[in-house]
A and B are shown apart, each in its own frame.
Chain A
Amino acid sequence: MKINTFKRHLREGTKNLIRNSWMTVAAVGAVTTTLVLVAVFLMLMLNLNQIADNIESDAEIKVFIDLSAEEEDIDELGQNIEEINRVEEHHFSSKDEELEALIEDLGEDGEAWEMFEQDNPLNDAYVVQTYDAEDLAGVASTIEEFSNVDEVDYGSETVERLLDFNQYARYIGITFIAALLLTAIFLISNTIKMTITARRDEIGIMRLVGAKNSFIRWPFFIEGMLTGVIGSIIPIALVLGGYHFLYLNLSDRLNFQFMELLPWNPFAWQLSLMLLAIGAFIGIWGSVMSVRKFLKV
């Protein structure tokens, strides 16, 4: 395309936005509303994913060893664990190491435990990791049968429930986002269709004197893209500001529960870029859809 032609399309596209300012406000509003909802859903969904991933990869079985077990017994137990099929890795953690880890995990509250350092009440343990979070239950029950095992712990309920919940949340989220996007495209297309009647004669003459369909479509393409991009400004501002706020206020509290949120940078930027792209996409689609009717034959 020649540079002059492109300038003309740009001029025509923006002119139409300004000339039909109320329609523009309506279309931009539709994009903004949609993207705000999409942003909230994406923030929730992607963070849930992240938390689930964390838990999945952190998921391990802790095998507490009987206090009465001798060193040979402990070695034998280690052998037995190694022979289980789905075990990826296991290592021994002495009761002193366990106490140290506990004190560290609890942070300030951990100080109270320091007095036990002289007389450690904890068990020695094996920490077992499986290839897949789904294998945890099976491997845990196998280990439970071995001798010298005091207790086996793998946070069974929590892990399974969270994995299930995450799965449902993902389906619902994707369905909801798809529905929102289609609604927005429909709204934009209808809004632009209303303004198009005024441009009907212009399009008719363009066709009559031999303008190519692509030439006629370009200003609409640009108009749609601008609608989408302008419509994504507020959602992006909300994501950049709002997520920052949320992250500052929530992440410490969640960290204590061993859950990590996606860090503001780069997540908020990536999400913003995504919103910009989605905005431009639905704007273009809605706009080009509305002009299609006038270009047939």
Chain B
Amino acid sequence: MKPAGGQETDRPERSLVARVPDWPVVAAGHDGDEPVVVVRANRVVAASAAARAVGVTVGLRRREAQRRSPDALIVASDPARDARAFEPVVAALDAITPRVEVSRPGLVAVGTRGPSRYHGGDAALGARIVAVLAATLPRPAPVRVGVADGIFAATCAAHRPRRPTPGAAPGAASGPVTVIAPGETPAFLASWPVAVAAVHLGTAEADAAADVLGRLGLRTLGSLATLAATDVLARFGTDGVLLHRLARGVDPRPLAARRPAPELAVGTEIDPPVERVDALAFRAVALADDLHARLGCDGLACLRLGIEVETEHGELRRRSWRHEGGLTAAAVAERARWQFDGWLNGPVADRPTAGITRLLLDPEEVTAARGRQLGFWGGETRIDEGAARALARVAALLGTDAVTVPEVNGGRGPADRIGSVPTSAVDLTGERALSRPGGEGPWPGRLPPPSPALVFPEPEVIDLLDAADQPVRVGGRGVISAPPSRMGRHPVVGWAGPWPAEERWWDPDRARRRARVQVVLGDGSAHLLALEHGRWHLEATYD
């Protein structure tokens, strides 16, 4: 371990981080002054400034967010949409510097060494980037830029610059650009909580280490930085050291992160050329597995990944994605799909003019892997990760709506009680709540078990006749006109009902009045029929 004086040589590369706050809101096509809440798996993942002003915070349950901001527009989270909308914005930055790395949609990092000198200093470069971003954003939205030693400190500076003691803190904030002078990064970071560094690393191990540090009273990066590096290593292991190095404002991975040999890049020629995102994404999944296996053989994890495509007309597109915690195979495949979506479905003027003929995944920065292979589904077994990958592959083949998981909605009819949602819309990685709030509530009038094994998505109209060949009716008080004797051409031998169900009578658009009847036919089959607007529908079969 180096002495304190060694910090100079360890000082990380000076970086600029540009950030569009609440990017999912902007990508969904909304302004910050309208209350908009973006939710994923029933939790708020982003909120517009107007929604945050009334108390909506990230991580809140959807219902609680609606309570705090009743007129807020609820938008489903869509990472592909976020990435697609961000691609033109990043492409505009290519005009200023070639070294643009996307950390996530809405957050980019740029090495400033060359560009800063060219544009006349960090502040000037920052102002230029703000101007370019503001001109290319799909909706007017604020842009924040931070310049500091290292990407972590620059990211912090791109958030609200915090000052422990007014006036004394370093960090010259000029409007949206915050520049931390070289060497002043540790002082700037001192008042930030340790959890911020764990979020930056983005690993469960770092979160756990930050949690332990917090419970020991080391809540700020400043207090963590006062510890000796050897003590941190002895007590908290490598994760603690990473946090400690971030806190001291030194490069978290000196020498470890290195440019890998070019042989590690995996690519494939595509013949015939493809123009569809799902077809490209399907190939990228296989490449990502291959890349992951190759890196794994060398004991490496990928910190920064270059995604490159070449079209039939020789156009070359390349974009770098960064993740401080190392990219898993699934994360690589996901970023590749986002990127293809951004290129192929972006603004018409920027789209490639021909099909893609070559695909390359190039690990640009790697580090020694420390076994970061979290299970995909709740960190369980390998078969679960395989299942998740197989489902992702099938979703890439058939479209995301084709692969769904059940969700308990609540309701009276067999089709209403349990619906299905696309796997892309739920968070399968953690413990998944199967039931929506209110799903288990009492639903008077719902049929008790056993339930029909076949429920038809689009019930067909069918005749239910009584002994006099007249259509069976259900009166206003829920009384049947006559027992049914024929369903279509089939004789009815047994029946039960009717079960009237009047739903959402308070809402004229969604109100439904139905009456259900069970019939047993001569061949022993049993069916559930529903009467609505004077017509019987074959809703389900007790197969």
- Do they bind each other? no
